[in-house]
């Protein structure tokens, strides 16, 4: 108990912008105006808070806008934005979101609330009495939610953010999840928002690499994000006409990769495009780790496989090879029309769940329909690319090589 109140004091010092309900009302916010209160009769909640957690992606603002506009305009529910994901929940930083705050943000990349892919309220490393300690601050976060009078927490994020939301749900917090990530690796939804934009960005990059690859007769290796899955590399690789696509779900044989670039070269195609997912690994080998990020729910940061491959390919084939790592470019920029539409549908559906008091759910796309599924089920495992994916079959049919030992491309 004593340790907890000490934690609170230290966290408040750290989080300069600590927000209390009093602060918000003192600042002149009127979260529940008279007219709004009238409309609120249809809603089972009066105040909703949302946060965006994990790596950002295009479409986050479109979701924030859709949740807030539906809540405020249609139901008179007051909306709050927690700043920088779970960091803001730990350090008590939130602000009221009014209609004017969420107007004009549909096309804006990033998130107006900020995000963090490091802060975990259930295991938070901080300096206490001059010593670094890892503490569980979840109960304090729940108290903050109660103190603020939030009847619903909308967590917009990937598997890490949603798994923590599920932990809060199990502590009795009314939670709704919205699936985001350029990796498209969340089960229970066919697509996450942000993925389509990342595919588009990566495809444009492959198109550009094609022209310079042709001019210089080079092997261009382009590395994409996606963590432990190859959804992004597969879709962008097919859309960009990659000659070889390497994904984590199909471990590659470097000899097969080299054979294919040499075969192409001898056949008069004096360039090759190799699209590689950051999580791709050789048969019997490991993924390439760029660094470890302490305190992150998943501390592993992948990266660097394109350089490893460029080195191996040029040594083994004597063809000139170059590596390009697309990195965070894939997470930036304005969302595509598809992502704007999906984000709006997701945000609207999340708000409708909230006002009906249907908690512990994650919104999801199944076929053409936006549905909702138990949050617990949605975060149970990540969604990998099935090796019998129809797109892999189509890619093989048009001659794309996946780096398998006996593959005839
Ligand atoms: O999950 C989104 C993602 O962009 C992954 O594709 C990538 O592996 C990771 O985040 C990168 O994280 P960071 O922003 O910490 O470098």
Q: CATH no. for residue 107?
A: 3.40.50.450
Query: According to the model, what pLDDT value does residue 240 have?
Result: 98
Q: Which atom of ligand 1 is nearest to the CA of 296?
A: 15
52 lies in some domain: yes
Q: Do the beta carbons of residue 66 and residue 20 sit within 8 Å?
A: no
Q: Is the CB of 53 under 6 A from ligand 1?
A: no
405 lies in some domain: no
Query: According to the model, what pLDDT value does residue 406 have?
Result: 84
Both tokens assigned to 45: 């909640």
Strands of 260-338 (E only): list them: 272-277, 289-292, 300-302, 321-325
Same domain, 123 and 87: yes
Both tokens assigned to 402: 């996946």
For ligand 1, the distance from its centroid to the CA atom of residue 243, given in whole angstroms, is: 25
227 lies in some domain: yes
For ligand 1, the distance from its centroid to the CA atom of residue 228, given in whole angstroms, is: 11
Domain range for residue 349? 8-193+335-378
pTM greater than 0.75: yes
The preferred substitution site among 195, 199, 225 for testing ligand 1, maximizing ligand atoms within 8 Å of CB, is 225
Q: Tell me the pLDDT band of 215, cut-offs 50, 70 and 90.
A: very high
**CA separation for the pair 275, 272 (Å, rounded):** 10
Query: According to the model, what pLDDT value does residue 317 have?
Result: 98
1 lies in some domain: no
pLDDT at 5 > cutoff 50: no
For ligand 1, the distance from its centroid to the CA atom of residue 3, given in whole angstroms, is: 34
Q: Which residue's CA lies nearest to atom 14 of ligand 1?
A: 55
**CA separation for the pair 190, 217 (Å, rounded):** 38
Q: Which helix (H) or strand (E) holds 134?
A: strand 131-135
Name the residue among 297, 213, 308 with its Cα closest to residue 252.
Answer: 308
Task: Give buried/exposed letters for 94-106 (b at 16+ CB in 10 A, else e).
Answer: bbbbbeebbeebb
For ligand 1, the distance from its centroid to the CA atom of residue 138, given in whole angstroms, is: 24
Query: According to the model, what pLDDT value does residue 296 have?
Result: 86
Query: According to the model, what pLDDT value does residue 37 have?
Result: 53
pLDDT at 16 > cutoff 60: no
Label residue 9 exposed, middle or buried (CB < 10 Å: 0-12, 13-18, 19+). exposed
Q: Tell me the pLDDT band of 34, cut-offs 50, 70 and 90.
A: low
Same domain, 234 and 348: no
Q: Do the beta carbons of residue 191 and residue 342 sit within 8 Å?
A: yes
The preferred substitution site among 111, 117, 247, 305 for testing ligand 1, maximizing ligand atoms within 8 Å of CB, is 117
Same domain, 125 and 155: yes
**CA separation for the pair 88, 112 (Å, rounded):** 13
The preferred substitution site among 301, 303, 304, 325 for testing ligand 1, maximizing ligand atoms within 8 Å of CB, is 301
Mean pLDDT across 122-141: 93
Same domain, 314 and 254: yes
17 lies in some domain: yes
Q: Do the beta carbons of residue 299 and residue 292 sit within 8 Å?
A: yes
Q: Is the CB of 184 under 6 A from ligand 1?
A: no
For ligand 1, the distance from its centroid to the CA atom of residue 128, given in whole angstroms, is: 29
Both tokens assigned to 155: 């967590």
Domain count, the chain: 2
Same domain, 254 and 211: yes
Render pLDDT for 38-70 as a digit per residue (tens, 0 to 9).
Answer: 555 589 999 999 999 999 999 999 999 999 999
Same domain, 392 and 249: yes
Render pLDDT for 283-320 as a digit per residue (tens, 0 to 9).
Answer: 999 999 999 998 788 999 999 999 999 999 999 999 99
Strand 78-82 to strand 47-52: parallel, antiparallel, or no bridges (unpaired)? parallel
For the chain, the average pLDDT equals: 92
Mean pLDDT across 116-143: 94
Same domain, 172 and 56: yes
Render pLDDT for 77-121 as a digit per residue (tens, 0 to 9).
Answer: 999 999 999 999 999 999 999 999 999 999 999 999 999 999 999
Largest pairwise CA distance in the chain:
76
**CA separation for the pair 21, 23 (Å, rounded):** 5
Same domain, 282 and 228: yes
Q: Which residue's CA lies nearest to atom 11 of ligand 1?
A: 301
Q: Tell me the pLDDT band of 2, cut-offs 50, 70 and 90.
A: very low
Residues in the chain: 409
Query: According to the model, what pLDDT value does residue 297 have?
Result: 85
Q: Which are the catalytic amino acids?
A: 183
Q: Is the CB of 272 under 6 A from ligand 1?
A: no
Same domain, 211 and 95: no
For ligand 1, the distance from its centroid to the CA atom of residue 279, given in whole angstroms, is: 11
135 lies in some domain: yes
**CA separation for the pair 374, 188 (Å, rounded):** 9
Render pLDDT for 348-403 as a digit per residue (tens, 0 to 9).
Answer: 999 999 999 999 999 999 999 999 999 999 999 999 999 999 999 999 999 999 99
Q: What is the CATH number of the domain that holds 248?
A: 3.40.50.460
**CA separation for the pair 221, 238 (Å, rounded):** 15
**CA separation for the pair 262, 96 (Å, rounded):** 60
Query: According to the model, what pLDDT value does residue 409 have?
Result: 75
Q: Is the CB of 231 under 6 A from ligand 1?
A: no
Q: Which atom of ligand 1 is nearest to the CA of 328?
A: 4
Q: Is the CB of 302 under 6 A from ligand 1?
A: yes
Contact partners, residue 93, CB within 8 Å, separation at least 6 = 15, 17, 18, 19, 82, 83, 84, 87
49 lies in some domain: yes
2 lies in some domain: no
Same domain, 180 and 259: no
Same domain, 326 and 364: no
Q: Which residue's CA lies nearest to atom 13 of ligand 1?
A: 55
Same domain, 117 and 179: yes
Q: What percent of the chain has pLDDT over 70?
A: 90
SS3 call for 363: strand
For ligand 1, the distance from its centroid to the CA atom of residue 157, given in whole angstroms, is: 12
Q: Do the beta carbons of residue 171 and residue 165 sit within 8 Å?
A: no
The preferred substitution site among 52, 55, 120 for testing ligand 1, maximizing ligand atoms within 8 Å of CB, is 55
Strand 78-82 to strand 94-97: parallel, antiparallel, or no bridges (unpaired)? antiparallel
Label residue 294 exposed, middle or buried (CB < 10 Å: 0-12, 13-18, 19+). exposed
Q: Is the CB of 303 under 6 A from ligand 1?
A: no
Per the model's pLDDT, the better-predicted residue between 260 and 3 turns out to be: 260
């Amino acid at each position: 108990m004593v340790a907890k109140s000490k934690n609170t004091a230290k966290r408040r010092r750290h989080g300069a912008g600590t927000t209390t309900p009093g602060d918000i009302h003192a600042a002149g916010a009127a979260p529940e105006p008279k007219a709004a209160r009238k409309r609120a009769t249809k809603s089972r909640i009066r105040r909703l808070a949302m946060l965006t957690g994990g790596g950002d992606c295009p479409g986050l603002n479109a979701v924030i806008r859709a949740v807030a506009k539906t809540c405020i305009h249609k139901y008179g529910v007051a909306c709050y934005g927690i700043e920088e994901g779970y960091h803001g929940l730990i350090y008590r930083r939130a602000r009221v979101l009014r209609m004017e705050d969420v107007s004009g943000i549909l096309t804006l990349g990033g998130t107006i609330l900020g995000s963090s892919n490091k802060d975990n309220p259930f295991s938070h490393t901080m300096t206490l009495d001059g010593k670094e300690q890892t503490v569980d601050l979840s109960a304090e976060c729940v108290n903050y939610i109660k103190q603020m009078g939030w009847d619903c927490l909308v967590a917009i994020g990937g598997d890490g953010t949603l798994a923590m939301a599920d932990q809060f749900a199990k502590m009795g917090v009314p939670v709704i999840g919205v699936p985001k990530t350029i990796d498209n690796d969340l089960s229970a939804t066919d697509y996450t928002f942000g993925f389509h934009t990342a595919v588009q960005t990566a495809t444009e990059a492959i198109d550009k690499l094609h022209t310079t690859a042709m001019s210089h007769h080079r092997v261009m290796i382009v590395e994409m994000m996606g963590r432990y899955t190859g959804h992004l590399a597969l879709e962008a690789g097919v859309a960009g006409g990659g000659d070889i696509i390497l994904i984590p779900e199909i471990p590659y044989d470097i000899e097969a990769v080299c054979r294919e670039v040499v075969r192409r070269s001898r056949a008069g195609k004096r360039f090759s495009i190799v699209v590689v997912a950051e999580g791709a690994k050789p048969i019997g080998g490991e993924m390439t780790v760029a660094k470890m990020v302490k305190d992150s729910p998943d501390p592993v940061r992948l990266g660097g496989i394109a350089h490893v491959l460029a080195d191996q390919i040029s040594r083994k084939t004597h063809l000139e090879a170059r590596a390009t790592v697309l990195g965070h470019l894939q997470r930036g920029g304005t969302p595509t029309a598809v992502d704007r539409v999906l984000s709006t549908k997701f945000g609207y559906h999340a708000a409708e769940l909230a006002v009906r008091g249907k908690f512990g759910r994650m919104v999801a796309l199944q076929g053409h329909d936006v549905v909702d599924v138990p949050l617990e089920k949605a975060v149970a495992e990540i969604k990998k690319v099935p090796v019998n994916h129809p797109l892999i079959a189509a890619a093989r049919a048009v001659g794309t090589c996946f780096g398998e030992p006996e593959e005839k491309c």
